[in-house]
Structure 1
Amino acid sequence: MTTDSSLAAPTSSTRPDSTRLLGAAAALFTVILWAAGLVATRFGVTGSLTLWDVVFLRLLLPAVILLPVLLRHPPRAEGRKGWPLLLAVLVAGAGLPFMLVGSGGMVFAPAAHAGALMPGSMPLFAALLAVLLLGERFTSSRRLGIALMLMGAMAVGGWQVLHDAGDTWRGDLMFVAAGAMWACYTIAMKKSGLGVWQAAGVVYVVSCLAYTPVYLLALESRLLVAPLFEVGVQLAQSVGSGLLSMAAYGFAVRRLGAASAAAFGALTPALTALLAIPLLGEWPELVTWAGIAAVSLGVALANGAFVRYAPPNR
């Protein structure tokens, strides 16, 4: 859900205000879709549908929409080493395993925890993997951002462990694991050289083909007896947070630069918590709000939100 600040371009001084306003609007729309997707997933797994139904509905429409794209533009190895492993990491990091872990966490923990821990742990693990695998270095701003994300994650998740809040800690651990999986997807995406829609096609189509037979033959389903509204919410969020957010984020990156667009991801934890109050009736505790604030600031710092770019020399 975030991207690497090293991809940033010095756009703030060279692009017209109207272009940047459109980019900012697209970035804000993206994080609203992300937050709404987390709330919708929590709504799904705590309602009439089973976890297995929610995962199936999240995969179905994007797979159908992206199948023609994948057939027309299939991924090609082009001499890359470890190509099958790379594709497997893409699917595991953003496809079926990621959805099972992230959505499964919603069974145990509220949406506000998902909003803080998943976006907070994604750039943390992505930064660590970038150092280990790509040889990147931390800036001082990024180091401070990572420290704040760690503090925020401990405030949100560690508090639950200390105060014995039932099985909430299980969901928190699953959110962190999902963040780590998405970080692996981010690194694999960078190394694969695939386009955004190519990668999405691989993730959704392969995941749907692998999951559908198991879902139909072996897993508990309440899809046929669940209210149509609940089914519709899951189908809508599968396209909204899955596909529309990709398009909106890509537009934002082109207008703002990667770092500025990614910095908007810092709004995701707070937006998720705020949406969960009226839609789910989940009120975060004070310590959770503190953790959300720390994670949000950490994500912003890690993605270069406060870095000013000088205009290029003429």
Structure 2
Amino acid sequence: MDARPIVRRIRERARALINASSSVMLSIRISGVILSMVRKILRFIKVEHTAFSLPLLLTGAWMGAGYTLPQSEILLAIALAAIGARTFGMSFNRIFDRRIDAQNPRTAGRELPSGAMSVRLALGIALGGLLLYLSACVFLGAWCLALSPLPLIPLMGYSFLKRYTALCHFGIGLCLALAPLGAYVAAAGQPYFSVQVLLFSSFVFFWLSGADIIYALLDLESDRRNGIHSLPAALGAAGAQTVAAAVHLTALLILGLLLYTRESRPFALAAFAATAVLFVMMYLPFIPVPKRFFPIATLAGVAGAITPLLM
């Protein structure tokens, strides 16, 4: 019996198996590269911080819709606009600050100063965020599209403030304070703001500005050494925390005034009390500064955003 046909078939099957295995391995490698790139981009834009800004948007949209939830597609478009805008702003902030970050031991490991990401890729991420933001604004209507350039100015400009003024922390507060106003316009279809949403936006401004002062305590020595302006660098840790406490007290007073403008239910008062407790926790010296900013300061903002929803 001639065994050659059998051997030939075995060889063909083995070759096919090897080819299939090579294709599977190549697919696994490609998937690994893509997954690694996605992780790198998510770390670069700090996606977890974006998620915690969503309650601020929800509150603004709820007020704009007449103290009720807007349609789900409106909420989705608002969320996409926020993600796009924050991606745009964060990307340019990291691009502009890459040399400053390289001089600071805390930030030297970030993607751009460490060389883990190219400036070209960071610009591509910024462009993608901008396109997402503008596309969402187109969907949300003429007013949102007409007003869409306004948030981009502070988003691009706030990273320059630390080069010139110790009041730079209020620049990032302004950026986030615009978010509930934008959500209000998206839900209401017009920019005639109510007293309540203006108060809420003011709360956001003072909350985040104060939180950023606390966060800047991490870089006090590096900022002084490299000539970067911040309140901790200018006033020292104690002086900066005194200013931050005054800013946060202002935020709480504004939130209390917002409660006063409408009949407040017990759940709203409980959320307000939780906000106050979290604000106090930002100043407890036995809590490490990174924890005071995230998650404590972040949760304070979330609790403050929930407060009007429960009125």
Q: TM-score range by the shorter chain?
A: 0.3 to 0.5
Larger Rg: 2
> So what's the TM-score if we normalise by structure 2?
0.32
**Which structure carries more relative contact order (alpha carbon 8 Å, separation 6+)?**
1
Structure whose residues are more often helix by fraction: 2
User: Scaled by the length of structure 1, what TM-score is found?
Assistant: 0.32
